[in-house]
Amino acid sequence: MKQIFTLFTLLTLMASVNAFAGTTYTVSSNSSYSASCSNCTFNISAGITLTLNSNGTCANCTFNGGIIAIAANVKCQPCSFNNDVITMGSYVLTPNSGSTSFFGVTFSVSGTGYINANTPVTVTNSTFTFTNTSYFYNNGGQLDITGSTLKFNDNSYFFANAGPVNMKSKSYIIVGDGSTTSKAYIKLNGPTLNVYDASSAIILNNYNNYYYNYGSYNSISNSTSYATAYPNAASSLNCGGAGQNACATWGNPVVYGPATFSATGVSGTATTLPVVLTDFSVILTSNQEVALSWNTQEEMNSSYFEVERSINGITWENVATIRAKGNSATVSNYNYTDVTAVNGVAYYRLKMVDLDGQYMYSEIKVVRSTLVKGISFFPNPARDFVNVSLSQSSSDVTVQLINQAGQVLQERKASAGNATTITMQVNQYAQGMYVLRVASADGSQQASKLVIAH
């Protein structure tokens, strides 16, 4: 019989979880999961984080929505990730049997972490970003990349021992972050690369970024194969000059960037996407508005940005359209304030559209607006006491008084409901600067400075 459980802040069922088959967990508060599971489904509420913090195996597991923090080595046999925001540091995610799928996923891998795919993988409508020395190791079969972008920054890389690797429907593998210090690369050690349409490409951004493949790659739309290894022309691109790498020879099938591998062959320049986006941030302001800002390092035939918002990470609405500079080789700054921000959790992304209608999405940002309305406190400076007034709260809240060392000196709780006032005695504390922090049950919080003066 299928069983349904609710996960609380700390799961207490972990010791016996392997006894359950076909279990559905509703994750409605920030939670940790510390065991293996078989035929499990995790439905994670918007803005809620499920932390996988113990080495284990998920046999036929499904993860829907919310945020997943991978803080241990996890095996998938197999897994399905749908509309999740996933972060992983120096750990390993291993798709180990069956076929693991990612749909509508934003996946960030950092440190020395890596995806160790020992089985076929499908990546659809997703963005994967690898930084530091993290990497994607495709070692188990076919990799289908559809409507997705894989970015390899810093010294991260993509390595494929198995395949084919299929790129379809506006898919990009972007190698390098634009700086010459980045030595990111892509290496295909035997498998076939298939580029299905003119809107998909591998992009090398600089001369220390490279593509390694003894074999030709196939343009499916053109029914043509393109050789890249020495002595073909591509092997002499961006090499041999002052400050550049030595050109490839027999036994070293390398092509250096900037270069683009597309359905029409190899170009000696990096494809210019609508924009090169940097520093995209989403911040909750003190008056409960959401401030978005972003920079572009360069733009080519860029038309406009759409600011999109979602309350569940699945269904998106356009809340603003911002005209782009169009063509620019210098840094351009943009900002937008969402004054109609929703209460609770909201997801934001940018849709970057160029003049011919081609577009790409940015990574997804998550912001938690407080569910507490009308927070105020008085007097400030305080001598004997401070009153904290909460005019409305749609969730339970905790009010804390914190000193400069980060110690919680006092803590008071208030239940969801109508206006209330919490009084804290402060005359027992030394004069100086303190912090009043009000935290909602969903994890959102506000902090303000309080001066105690006697």
- Please, is 40 exposed, middle or buried when counting C-beta atoms within 10 Å of its C-beta (0-12, 13-18, 19+)? buried
The predicted structure's pLDDT at residue 130: 94
**Tens-place pLDDT, residues 319-341:** 999 998 877 767 788 999 988 76
The predicted structure's pLDDT at residue 107: 92
- 0.85 cut: is pTM over it? no
**Tens-place pLDDT, residues 242-251:** 888 999 888 7
Query: With contact defined as beta carbons under 8 Å apart, do 31 and 10 qualify?
Result: yes
Q: Which residues are 336's β-sheet partners? A: 292
CATH class of the structural domain 275-369: mainly beta
For residue 230, give Cα distances in angstroms to 24, 219, 236, 255, 342: 54, 20, 8, 9, 56
Express as a percent the part of the chain with pLDDT over 70: 86
Is the pLDDT confidence value at 122 over 70? Answer: yes
d(CA 127, CA 364): 9
Half-sphere exposure at residue 332, Cβ-oriented, CA atoms within 13 angstroms: 18
What average pLDDT does the structure give for the chain? 84
**Tens-place pLDDT, residues 162-215:** 989 999 988 999 998 777 889 999 999 999 999 998 878 899 988 999 999 999
**Tens-place pLDDT, residues 253-279:** 999 989 999 999 998 877 666 566 767
Q: Which residues contact 40 (CB under 8 A, 6 or more apart)?
A: 20, 22, 23, 24, 25, 58, 60, 61, 62
* Ranges for all domains in the chain classified under CATH 2.60.40.3080: 372-452
* Ranges for all domains in the chain classified under CATH 2.60.40.10: 275-369
Confidence of residue 17 (pLDDT cuts 50, 70, 90): very low
Confidence of residue 139 (pLDDT cuts 50, 70, 90): very high
CATH class of the structural domain 372-452: mainly beta
